[in-house]
Amino acid sequence: MAALRTLVFPGPSIKLPPVDALPLGARIAVAREQDSFAVSSSGGFVPLRHLAPVANVEPEFVAVAERFIGVPYLWGGKSSLGLDCSGLVQFALTACGIKCPRDSDMQESALGKPASLAGLQSGDLIFWKGHIAIARGRNSIIHANAFHMAVAIESVAEALARIGAAGNQVTSVRRLK
């Protein structure tokens, strides 16, 4: 799937009531194409423009994460219906063909090489105990968090101050490249 979400229709018309919904990353077996739809092996009709070949990988994981802005925070969530911080990172990296463990503590020990807050670059991963955020550059991050109850962009300074005031300090910064 290339769209954040798509609907599955019982026939080749968007005016029919949908029978299912699929999240970004869902895989479907396409039996054939009809008009502007892919017909799945189970008979559902999915808009062709929402699909991408399985072999396709996204070029930039920060951009993938940004597509989820506003998606509700859901502890343990891993779809466009709800995400937690490590689910957002796992989803974004996986979409780019980068293997990524599920939980933030495993991500911290498995991903990248040490970096620093002072030299923060787009794509750096910032870790706190039980939390992870993705740097969008020196001054902002994107993360799924319970403060905003959504995937949100926040300034690095505000996030550090807010999370620090709650007694949680940065444990590491990791750079993938």
- Mean pLDDT, each 10-residue run in order, the chain (177 residues): 91 98 91 97 97 92 97 94 96 95 97 97 97 97 97 97 95 95
131 catalytic? Reply is yes
Under 8 Å between Cβ of 22 and 70: no
Amino acid at 161: A
Predicted TM-score (pTM) of this structure: 0.90
Of 50, 96, 100, 143, which is the active-site residue?
Answer: 143
Q: How far apart are CA 155 and CA 115, in angstroms?
A: 19
148 catalytic? Reply is no
Closest-CA residue to 124 (of 67, 170, 72): 170
Q: How far apart are CA 168 and CA 110, in angstroms?
A: 21
Amino acid at 144: A
143 catalytic? Reply is yes
